[in-house]
Structure 1
Amino acid sequence: MEDGYQARLSPRWRRALLLLGAVLVAPALWLDTAGLPPVPGRVLAVTLAAGQVALLGWLDRAPRRVTAAVLAGSAALQLLVPSLGPGLVFVVLCTYAWARPARESRWALAATVLAVCGPALLQGRWAPAGAWLAASLLAWSWGALGRARSARHEAEQRQAVLEERARIARELHDVLSHTVSVMVIQAAAADDVFDIDPGKAREAIRRTEAAGREALAELRSFLRTVRADAPSPPPRPGPTDPGQFDAPPQPTLADLDRLVGTFTAAGLPVTLRRDGAAEPPAGVQLSAYRIVQEALTNTLRHAAARQADVLVRVTASEATVEVRDDGRGGSPHGTGNGIRGMRERAVLLGGTLTAAPDPATGGFLVRAHLPWQPSTGRRV
């Protein structure tokens, strides 16, 4: 099974591999040859050694062909120079096991055992053959282990990128979906009463402008958190400069009253109830706020509800959020990102979220349980 890891030698490691290969085959320049006259034997030994070193530069680009060529050259060089050990072959095998999946590199292990042990056995050198068998197994295991470690590290990096993308998408959806929905409804209301009641039309337009400014401020705050390595910008001018928007802090449970007010002004009366005075961590408060925001946004956009109720209950170890409406219900699965994003927020905190039609009202009910542990104030 492929692990998806694509191994590539860096220029520094490529140079180190070439240098190591040259050192390992250098004794072929002076060691005695066998089976040929001295001069032709020396020329052939140097040619075989130089050819193996030259091939190392392409080991990660064409690993199968390079490994096969090095193994063949090493077997011939051992027969020609019996006192020269097959050290280069072990380096190549280790690199090949790192460059290719284990299932594919096993053939290289078998070929290496044949290439390094065969000539020694033909020459009756049993002890070196046994040592080189053990070295072959060690080299292959080391390379395969290095590949597994590199593949795991790369998979963790990919997963971190995917999780960050999901977080960014979730935050953008939560910020923009709510604000744009309110702006669209307010703009439609202004258009409906523009001729018969200009005062109400202007009021709706002002609320649309306020929602747009709020969205810009939240987006600026969110982008600053994404660009964590960016330097802090200089202080912004105050409201006297309409072109600037101060980035507010992340919303908390204390901001639910303001959130409920925007939905009431948009035509969806919302009742907010609180139970408990504990103070959850900022991450729990942000998730609870976003879940309420997204649930009410879905109600405003899709449910045709006359009213909605929000209950926030905080205990010493858990925050519970319930949002129910009297609209026309809907699918607990949905086709967009809203319910999925709310559920992801709850799961990231170790909690749960259910979203389903509410038998009591005939509408829809979203219930989230967000666990948290209060600080003990002790130092460990």
Structure 2
Amino acid sequence: MTSSDGSPAATTDRADHLAIGRVVRLLSEVRLAVLVVCIVSGVVKGGIGLLGAGIAVLAMLFSVMPARSWEQRGELFSRSGILLACDLVVTVVLLVLLPGELMMIYAAATVALFAAIVGTRLALFMATPIAMALLGAQGTSSDGLSWLVVATGAVGVLAMAWAGNALGAALRAQEAAARRAATGELRRAATLERVRIARELHDTVAGDLAGATMLGRTLVDRLVRDGADPRTLTLARRLAESCATAHTHTRVALGELRRAEMSPVEELTATVVDWSERTGVRTSVRVAPAVEDIPAPVSSDLRAILLELLENVRRHAAARRVDVVVELAGDTVRLVVVDDGRGIPDLEHVPADDAGHYGLRGIDERAQERAGSVRRSTPPGGGLRTEVVLRTDLDVEEVAPDGAVGAEVEVP
């Protein structure tokens, strides 16, 4: 796990870390209970030596810490190879010094704990010496355990690696689903609020500005007919122009607010379709269904980059066709825009520092802010291919769930 530094990735890692807190505490408490019973039993029967008691007390420390303070110090335990190795060594020594049925439970709980924290592969590697110590110690003990029971216990210990990992993965998946649901609720609440503001602006400010614009134009016409002095006529025209400009800006703001009603798939698709209809350039757009789950800030940056790329095509490329693809891969979203226009002669020196490439520089800067990248190349036949990759920092499945609807549009 990475340290918690306030970034989205660190926040996600900490949420995953906290998600397994319940099972970590449970397994740690099981280990503590076994150790307490073994120490008490050894003292009563006189079968535990000073070394065994000391190792048992030391082992208790490795269970007390995650059981009592996993939320505060658990990351230290899970990220520290030294602590995990020490816990493993102490467990092996305990199995040798304190053979018995209870220690088989301790071994199984330990392996499950390791698996929940570090995963199956590393847990299996750590479980191997534990199983071997269990076979050796229990097979030579005087408790009368049969080899069948001991062997079954050793196999069970190894199997706990899969069980612990499955339990940890299920808890992390549950936490991720809860985060996605919470994010969805916040997004829906924000959407409803933006729609409410848009409606109020449309019903009040936009309507008033439209009326003021008409009155201003009427006033100018009336002053012209009445032969008003030039100064008064100039002021009236400026007033009418100001009202018209304010009305236009309000309509633009309403359009941006109304975009909140669209999903990321609809928004990106509509951006390409609207641009194509406005410019007359033939386009195709394919947006993967899984893009539906990207966070709103990432969707906003992606749309801004897409619009800038399309505007660059309109201003500089003289292209006849543009192809747009948006897809999700793990925790990154990839945007590819290909046109058949003039292209860029010197791709190695783009973006330049001159004023003609501020748009390209802005795209690079947005990608860097999202820990992403921008790659430009010349496709076969000429033109320009731009690939932009942004981090989403979400646990999004690469394959969309059944029933998800993406978008693939061909605009002639």
Whichever structure has more helix as a proportion of its residues is 2
Larger radius of gyration between Structure 1 and Structure 2: 1
Higher relative contact order (CA 8 A, sep 6+): 2
Shorter-chain TM-score range: 0.3 to 0.5
The alignment's TM-score, normalised by the length of structure 2, stands at: 0.43
